[in-house]
């Protein structure tokens, strides 16, 4: 009967969380930079339009996602291959 110990579960979970953070990092950084730039622009010009904050962020994050898609795909495929290759070693 296959058995996966707590250490293996914790290791796989930790690697999965690291992967999610690494893959989401480009979009988060772009959203942060664009948000700060828009906030500075609003503070300088005193324009307080709500759509001014959301629309550029959405466009910038979508652009970052398109640019980072090949890298993200490669990382996900590599992680999945590593997971599948670990399956025989997880059984006793």
Task: Give the pLDDT score at 3.
Answer: 64
Average pLDDT over residues 5-31: 92
- In this predicted structure, the answer to whether residue 2 has a pLDDT above a threshold of 60 is no
Are the C-beta atoms of residues 91 and 2 closer than 8 Å to each other? yes
HSE-CB at 81 with a 13 A cutoff on CA atoms is 6
Structure tokens at 84: 């599948």
With 0-12 / 13-18 / 19 or more C-beta atoms within 10 angstroms meaning exposed / middle / buried, residue 83 is middle
Task: Give the pLDDT score at 86.
Answer: 85
Are the C-beta atoms of residues 22 and 75 closer than 8 Å to each other? yes
Alpha helices in the chain (DSSP H): 6-45, 51-90
Task: Give the pLDDT score at 69.
Answer: 96
Higher pLDDT: 91 or 92? It is 91
Question: 25-76, pLDDT tens digit by residue?
Answer: 999 999 999 999 998 998 898 888 877 888 999 999 999 999 999 999 999 9
Structure tokens at 20: 């999610």
């Amino acid at each position: 009967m296959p058995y996966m110990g707590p250490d293996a579960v914790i290791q796989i979970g930790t690697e999965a969380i690291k992967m999610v953070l690494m893959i989401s990092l480009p979009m988060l950084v772009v959203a942060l930079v664009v948000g700060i730039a828009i906030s500075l622009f609003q503070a300088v010009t005193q324009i307080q339009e709500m759509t001014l904050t959301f629309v550029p962020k959405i466009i910038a994050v979508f652009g970052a996602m398109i640019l980072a898609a090949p890298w993200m795909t490669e990382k996900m495929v590599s992680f999945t291959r590593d997971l599948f290759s670990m399956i025989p070693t997880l059984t006793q």
